[in-house]
Structures are given as C-alpha cells and as structure tokens.
Amino acid sequence: MDVPFLDLGAINARHADELKAAAARVIDSGWYIMGEELAAFEREFAAWCGVRHAVGVGNGLDALSLILRGYLQLGALGEGDEVIVPGNTFIASFLAISENRLVPVPVEPDPRSFNLDPACVAAAIGPRTRAIMAVHLYGQLADMSALAALARRHRLLLIEDAAQAHGAARDGRKAGAFGDAAAFSFFPAKNLGALGDGGAVVTADARLAQRVTALRNYGSEVKYRHLFQGVNSRLDEIQAAMLRVKLRHLDEDVAWRRRVARRYRDGIRHPQIRLPQVAQEEQHAWHLFVVRCSHRDALQRHLLAHGIHSQVHYPVPPHRQPAYPDLHDRRLPLTERLHEEVLSLPMGPTLGGDAVERVIEACQAFECPA
C-alpha cells in the first residue's frame, strides 16, 4: 500500500455522518447564500482565532485581495504603493497585490524558518512602502514581533497570509491575531478545509471588517444599493456548514500533525536531508513538513520507488513565473535555491504511525547520487 501525500477522502470520512447531516440541514432550509450557517461560522471562527471579526469569502486569494481592496478604499493604501512579500511564497500572495494595482516587492526569507527575514524587510523599506505581507509558510508563524515593530516604526500595514497556518500560535495567540488583518483559505487540502473553495478575512479592525463584508457582496450593505465597487466572493451556506463541523475537530487535527512532525524530526537523521527548524512547538501548525536536500529530485524518486508520495512547494518562485515578466531580473538567490531543494513529505491528520515509520525508513535508506 502506498503512502499518499494527503488523503482527503479519509480526512472527511471521519466526519461523514456529521457532514451529511449538516448538508441535509442546508438543503432542506431552502437558503443557500448569506444565511445562518455563514453567520454562525463567522462567529465561531473569529472566536477560535481570538479575533473580533471574521468575514467569509469565496477563497483565500480573494480574502487577501479584499483586505487590500478594503484598505485602498479606506485610504490606507494608494495605487502604486509597494507591499513587501516573501519571495518564496505561493503565487496567490503576489496576485492579491498586483491585481489591486499595488507593487509586490519580494524579499529573501530566513532559510531556517522559510519565513520573512526582518533584516531583509527593513532593507527593502522605501518611500513607497505601505504594507508588509507576512506569510506563515508551511504553517509556521513568521517573526511577528519583529515585523510588528518594523510596521509601527515605518507606519506600515501588517497583513498576514495565514492560508497555511490555522492553529499556529505563540503564547496562546493564534495566527490571524497578530496583524491589522489576516487571510485564511479553506481550500480542501488546508489545515481547515471545506469540501470546495472558501476563505475568510479575520481582523480586529471594525472598519475593515464592515468594508470587506460589503465588498464581497457587490459592495452592498442593503440589497440593490451599491455603496462601493465590490465583487462577488461569498462563502456559501453548504461550505459554511461543512466548515462548522470541521472546525470542531481542528484542534485535534493540529495536535496530530504536531505528533507526526515530532516523530519525523526524531526519526529522520540523514546527513543530506535537512529537517525544518522550529522556534517553539506551538508556533507550527505543520500544514506541510518540508525538508531540504541538494539532491531533491533523486530523493523524491527514491521515495516514490518505496511507494511514498511527496510534493514540491513550490517548483518555481513567483518572480520567475511567466506571469511576472517584470520581476524576471530580480536576483533572489536564496529563494531560488530553496525552490530547487524543498520537498514536502506526507503530512496530515489521518497519517498513521505505520506510514510515518515507513517514510522515516525510506528517508534513512536514501543514497545520494555521487
């Protein structure tokens, strides 16, 4: 039997009865958009994050984009302003910036944490810089106290891309509770996954929450009265109902991911496989368990030959993508090297102990090509 990278079927099968009952409740209600399930999920997710407001939207990219659009309309950002972003993030972080006619300024990460390096951020701050977008990549909190200090000193917005970090925390404070606003994704494979697309904006800023609430629904607060130029990006009732079920199990799921990571970190001891570094156990929600290997492709083939499925997050950095020709001349050597070396091992809340041991054994048996 192969070890899958992530078994979404098994993850949702654990809650099949609850999910089916919740779906039936919505079907029978006759109300499918902007109803009681959404309102309840927003309350419950905000409380779980420890932040006052959560606004459900269509997906994680829209959550990021609507934060920026909201701040543009509220006057905290202006067209052409620069947003500092880690060079090694998923492309959605960049897209949210550029689709709002803001300018992504990619900077090198700290290679130990894969997250923004505050020194590189400080060096990139210029007269047009208005915001820092911290990405809690792979589930580990960025250095939010250093970034918050920089944001305060230079009067910048601090936005969290928390799409991979549901449950990461420091001193009891969760991802989503550190910046001016945070974006979550509920793409099925995330730590809290819907059975389709979904996302949320989380913020303590009542003005932003109110604006995003209008923007996701055609810029409207009262039907057919359009105060702002909005979009259609809503979290539907079925997905909200699915997420309410899965939110009740999220703490256990994150705890399970931490146990898998602990076992990997104890068991994998290979001179050519570099393990992820962790500041504090609770800071990591282990969306992905990412190792580095200078023979990454050989390691991936070796694991597959042992029936173990791994993935690369991500093979090409955004500044090297065809979508961003204007960024092709940027030199981000560390980012580029990371993209050649990273490999994500199987990780998830249904990954069993035997499978974890097989992954460890296969890693230990890897022989580097000469």
Name the residues annotated as catalytic.
190
Which pair of tokens denotes residue 224? Answer: 């057919």
Total residues at interface with ligand PLP (CB under 6 A): 15
Among the listed ranges 44-52, 90-98, 122-130, 316-324, the one in contact with ligand PLP (CB under 6 A) is 90-98
Q: Name the residue nearer to ligand PLP (CB basis): 187 or 324.
A: 187
Q: What's the closest the beta carbon of residue 62 comes to ligand PLP, in angstroms?
A: 7
The one among 48, 71, 94, 187 contacting ligand PLP by CB under 6 A? 187
Give whichever of 59 and 140 is closer to ligand PLP, judged by the CB atom: 59
The one-letter code for the residue type at 263 is R
Q: How far is the CB of 287 from ligand PLP (least distance, A)?
A: 8
Dihedral of the alpha carbons of 41, 43, 45, 51, in degrees to the nearest 10: 160
Say if residue 131 is exposed, middle or buried (CB neighbours under 10 Å; 0-12, 13-18, 19+). buried
* Least gap, CB of 196 to ligand PLP (angstroms): 10
Q: Report in angstroms how near the CB of residue 49 gets to ligand PLP at its nearest.
A: 17
What are 241's strand-pairing partners? none
Structure tokens at 31: 């109300």
Supply the DSSP string of 260-309, one letter for each residue.
Answer: HHHHHHHH---TT-BPPP-S-GGGB--S-EEEE-TTHHHHHHHHHHTTB-
> Of 42, 81, 161, 236, which lies in the binding site for ligand PLP, with binding defined by CB under 6 A?
161
Beta partners for residue 308, in sequence order:
3
Q: Which of residues 342-361 bind ligand PLP (CB under 6 A)?
A: none
Q: How far apart are CA 151 and CA 273, in angstroms?
A: 35
The footprint of ligand PLP on residues 51-80 (CB under 6 A) is 59-61
Cα angle 192-259-244, degrees, rounded to a multiple of 5: 20
Which of the ranges 41-49, 87-95, 107-115, 145-153 carries the binding residues for ligand PLP, by CB under 6 A? 87-95
Using CB under 6 A, which residues numbered 98 to 157 contact ligand PLP? 135
Instruction: Tell which one of 86, 118, 139, 199 touches ligand PLP (CB under 6 A).
Output: 199
Q: Which of 102, 163, 242, 327 binds ligand PLP (CB under 6 A)?
A: 163
Backbone angles phi, psi at 22, to 5 degrees: -70, -40
Count of CB atoms situated within 10 Å of the CB of 320: 17
Query: Residues 73, 93, 113, 283: which binds ligand PLP (CB under 6 A)?
Result: 93
Q: Could you say which of 26, 77, 92, 195 contacts ligand PLP (CB under 6 A)?
A: 92
Which residue type does 165 have?
Answer: A
CB 153 within 8 A of CB 178: no
Q: Tell me whether residue 26 or residue 163 sits nearer to ligand PLP (CB atom).
A: 163
Stretch that binds ligand PLP, among 8-16, 88-96, 111-119, 223-231 (CB under 6 A): 88-96
**Cα dist. 30→26, 183, 235, 244, 311 in Å?**
7, 29, 16, 19, 41
Handedness of CA 323, 94, 348, 245 (dihedral sign): negative
Pick between residue 246 and residue 302 the one whose CB is nearest to ligand PLP. Answer: 246
ω into 32 cis (within 30 of 0)? no
Name which position in 88, 89, 239, 300 contacts ligand PLP (CB under 6 A): 89
* Pairwise CA distance, residues 304 & 358, whole Å: 12
Stretch that binds ligand PLP, among 158-166, 258-266, 277-285, 331-339 (CB under 6 A): 158-166
Residues lying near ligand PLP in the complex (CB under 6 A) are found at 59-61, 89-90, 92-93, 135, 161, 163-164, 185, 187, 197, 199
